[in-house]
Amino acid sequence: MKEIIDGFLKFQREAFPERARLFKDLATQQNPRALFISCSDSRLVPELVTQREPGDLFVIRNAGNIVPSYGPEPGGVSASVEYAVAALKVADIVICGHSNCGAMTAIATCQCLDHMPAVASWLRYAESGRVVNESRSHRDQRAKVDAMVRENVIAQLANIQTHPSVRLALEEKRLTLHGWVYDIESGAIDAYDGTTRTFVSLAECPQTRAVTC
């Protein structure tokens, strides 16, 4: 904990003064252009990976970068998606998975989660990705996990489109969806191309979109 407090003191002493004008502007308003949905994993920091400043991203983080399908009792993720799209009117939504994801590893390798019933229940929202992944052959366990990470991104892109605010924004042609997979070791990102239904290098194909208006 000492390191965390020391970090805050350094922020207050060095980083904050450098951005004093920015924080003054942000004190009473925000206008993020994108909603970024990622895993809670400590190794993926959306603002670092995208080199964004405070106020640029509206961020949702949870185990497995999951977006539950819209239902009769919307939870915190649904509320945050709705606020980002309907109130903040973000123009883009990124759903970003990552390599070596613990949640997707548990699903792909059929790990027993009886000791973590809340986690097990949450990961059921990735079931459609699991079913597709299980139907295919993989050269080894690592390849199976990597494929599960990608199938989960595709599954969550489908889930988020069940949200009324998202469907309306797409219909009004003011929203674009992106599906990314971040590789921790290399720093590379693969993006889902909704036209070819394949993942391609974002660095080589920066215009890649999963769903566009």
* Residue 53: closest CA among 90, 21, 95, 89: 21
146 is written with which tokens? Answer: 């990597």
How far is 49 from 52, CA to CA, in rounded Å? 8
- Name the DSSP letter for residue 84: I
How far is 156 from 168, CA to CA, in rounded Å? 18
Q: Can you give the pLDDT at residue 213?
A: 65
Task: Kindly report, residue by residue over 123-156, the tens digit of the pLDDT.
Answer: 999 999 999 999 999 999 999 999 999 999 999 9
Task: Kindly report, residue by residue over 161-207, the tens digit of the pLDDT.
Answer: 999 999 999 999 999 999 999 999 999 999 999 999 999 999 999 99
Structural domains for the chain: 31-201 (3.40.1050.10)
**Per-residue confidence band for 159, with pLDDT thresholds at 50, 70 and 90:** very high
16-38: average pLDDT: 97
**Per-residue confidence band for 74, with pLDDT thresholds at 50, 70 and 90:** confident
Q: Can you give the pLDDT at residue 152?
A: 98
φ, ψ of residue 62 in degrees (nearest 5): -160, 170
How far is 139 from 147, CA to CA, in rounded Å? 11
